Each structure stands twice: as structure tokens, then as C-alpha cells.
Amino acid sequence: MPHLTPEDLYSLEEYAKIRPEYRATIMAHKKNRALPVGPNATLYFEDRQTMQYQIQEMLRIEKIFEQDGIRDELDAYNPLIPDGDNWKATFMIEYDDVTERQKMLEKLIGIERAIWMQVEGYDRVTPVANEDLGEGDIGREREDKTSSVHFLRFQLTPEMVDAVKNGAKISAGIEHKHYHHEVNPIAENIRNSLADDLD
């Protein structure tokens, strides 16, 4: 999946005009990219469309129009676009109650390494987590708690890619001592959307 370039992006003026319709299109697309794993954790699979939307929103909010600023946003978000032989996801731990969330983040240290995806007929794939992250708290694990947001890359073998392209089912799960849930198989609409990420 090719990375985004400045030429792919709308100017601030253009984006302001099309934003309502564009946003509705992206929200519909994202419905096929969100995979809840149990009640309090979700994998949001990223692709070129979700990343363009993220960049356009950042440019709008920060009122960035100079080339250096645009390039910085592209450099930050392009690594989250799948490479044709992997899936990339934003993993979020979601508890509505703030006190409960803090308590669970203390218990769920290492959860990003306990997530797995599995193509039917093949071994489970655990992710590479939080690679190439810049400064900030996202994806940062401390001794006393984990982050509520992690960036993951699930690297597939050529055989797994072929199997998915040929209709193999996909499962996902989390095996952590304080959080254990499985989705087997994932919904067909999500499966088909993930198949589109692969070359």
C-alpha cells in the first residue's frame, strides 16, 4: 500500500469544503476496520484511508499549511500504513470509568505482547509493538502501568497472505492473565477489509 505524499492531501480550504461528506465516508469505512476483543479492548486497523483522514484532521486542527509541517505529519503517520504483507493497528484499552481504567492499566502491563491474530491453518502471529514511536506517552509502558494506546504490526508470511487472499478465516484474541478474550472467527466484513490490505 503506497505511502501518502503532499500531492495526495487536500489543502485546508479544499478540506473545509468537503469535510462533512469525506468524514461520513471515512466513518463508514472504519466500521469495517474496528475489531472489539472482549468488552474493553479494540483493534482499530489502519490503512491509507484512515491515515489520510488522520493527517487531514491534524492539519485542520493545527492550521498547518507550510510544507515542512505537512511533511512532519506524513512522516508521523505513513509508518502506520500496511506494507502489503502485514496488518497495522491502533490498539486501545477502553474503560469508561476513570478509576477502573487506572486500576486496569496497572494490571495489564504487557498486554500489547499478549495479543494475537491467526490465519486459518497457520500459527498465531503476535505483534511488533510501538516501533518507531516519537516522544510522548502513546505506547509507553512504565513499571507501574501500561499505556491505554499501543501501535501494533502483525507480520504475515507469504503463505498466510495467500491464504487470506483465497478466503481463509481470521481469528484474534488476547491472552493476558487479567484479560482473556477471543474472536473466532472475526466478522466477514472485517476479514474482507483486512484482505484488501495484502498484496
Chain segment 12-25, per-residue pLDDT in tens: 999 999 999 999 99
Distance CA 151, CA 188 (A): 23
138 & 158 share domain: yes
Amino acid at 85: D
66 & 125 share domain: no
Distance CA 89, CA 116 (A): 12
The parent domain of residue 13 ranges over 1-30+48-81
107 & 68 share domain: no
DSSP of 60-109 = HHHT--SHHHHHHHHHHHGGGS--SSEEEEEEEE--SSHHHHHHHHHH-T
66 & 159 share domain: no
116 & 188 share domain: yes
123 & 26 share domain: no
Mean pLDDT of the chain: 94
- What are 57-73's pLDDT values in tens digits? 999 999 999 999 999 99
135 & 153 share domain: yes
Average confidence (pLDDT) over 48-54:
97
SS3 189: helix
> Is pLDDT at 139 greater than 90 in this prediction?
no
